[in-house]
């Protein structure tokens, strides 16, 4: 039986807030079919209630009432990548701090390998609220699992929304490692990056990796027990 998309959306939204990956802003979405996706409403992700159905957005046409302007980013990613089933647009603090240095996290530990060699950095500092900019963000992201928006957070994309939510956590963890190593880097001590061969062996889905992260992200949410 297919999980209820609206329930997955609510769980992901609240998980992003619970784990400090989003604050008053941000949005997550889940693909419904080849022509539509469901996105969170214009409210803080941590306040998305169990009765919230979300906003259905068509891949073609105007954004419907209730969809934030930046939801255009989600739409362009879904248009460009038919295999993507979920997108998270959040503001993890370590990734944002690193972007202020003009950098994104490298593959320095296991979770960082999922973005090897490192996520692209969108250079614009303005919020992406028009179609042209949204198309360009999606183009720069390409097939990557994430893109970092300079000073404005990150966007992750996965085969499912559960996976995209896990990737948001992975990316922030990689950014924390990168920031923690800045003093060593200033002292001339270089961190060891994973080689392409090591990345291939490490960045896998085996062992229910995303499933276990999803359980961790949702633990404590009453709706998770339903």
The model's pLDDT over 150-165, given as tens digits with 9 standing for 90+, comes to: 999 999 999 999 999 9
- Tell me the pLDDT tens digit for each residue of 3-37: 899 999 999 999 999 999 999 999 999 999 999 99
Mean pLDDT score across all residues of the chain:
95
CB 19 within 8 A of CB 214: no
Residue 1 scores a pLDDT above 70: no
Nearest to 158 by CA among 19, 8, 47: 8
Largest CA distance in the chain: 55
pTM: 0.96
Nearest to 110 by CA among 24, 175, 184, 170: 170
- Tell me the pLDDT tens digit for each residue of 168-184: 999 999 999 999 999 99
Beta-sheet strand order (sheet of 27-33): 55-58, 36-39, 27-33, 86-90, 153-158, 146-149, 121-122
Cα dihedral 97, 102, 103, 104 sign: positive
- Tell me the pLDDT tens digit for each residue of 108-130: 999 999 999 999 999 988 889 99
DSSP 112: G
Say what the pLDDT of residue 2 is: 66
Give Cα separations from 213 to 70, 100, 180, 207 (angstroms).
27, 28, 23, 11
């Amino acid at each position: 039986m297919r999980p209820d998309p609206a329930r997955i959306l609510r769980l992901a939204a609240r998980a992003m807030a619970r784990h400090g990956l989003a604050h008053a802003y941000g949005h997550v979405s889940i693909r419904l079919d080849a022509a539509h996706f469901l996105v969170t409403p214009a409210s803080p992700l941590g306040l998305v209630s169990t009765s919230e159905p979300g906003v259905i957005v068509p891949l073609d046409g105007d954004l419907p009432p209730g969809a934030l302007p930046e939801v255009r980013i989600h739409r362009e990613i879904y248009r460009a990548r038919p295999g993507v089933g979920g997108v998270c647009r959040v503001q993890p603090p370590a990734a944002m701090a690193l972007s202020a240095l003009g950098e994104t996290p490298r593959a320095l530990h296991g979770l960082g390998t999922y973005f090897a060699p490192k996520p692209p950095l969108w250079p614009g500092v303005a919020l992406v609220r028009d179609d042209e900019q949204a198309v360009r963000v999606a183009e720069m992201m390409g097939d990557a699992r994430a893109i970092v928006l300079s000073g404005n957070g990150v966007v992750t994309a996965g085969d499912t929304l559960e996976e995209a939510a896990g990737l948001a956590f992975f990316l922030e963890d990689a950014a924390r490692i990168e920031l923690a190593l800045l003093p060593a880097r200033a002292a001339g001590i270089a961190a060891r990056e994973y080689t392409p061969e090591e990345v291939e062996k490490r960045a896998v889905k085996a062992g229910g990796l995303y499933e276990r992260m999803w359980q961790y992200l949702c633990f404590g949410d009453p709706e998770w027990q339903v």
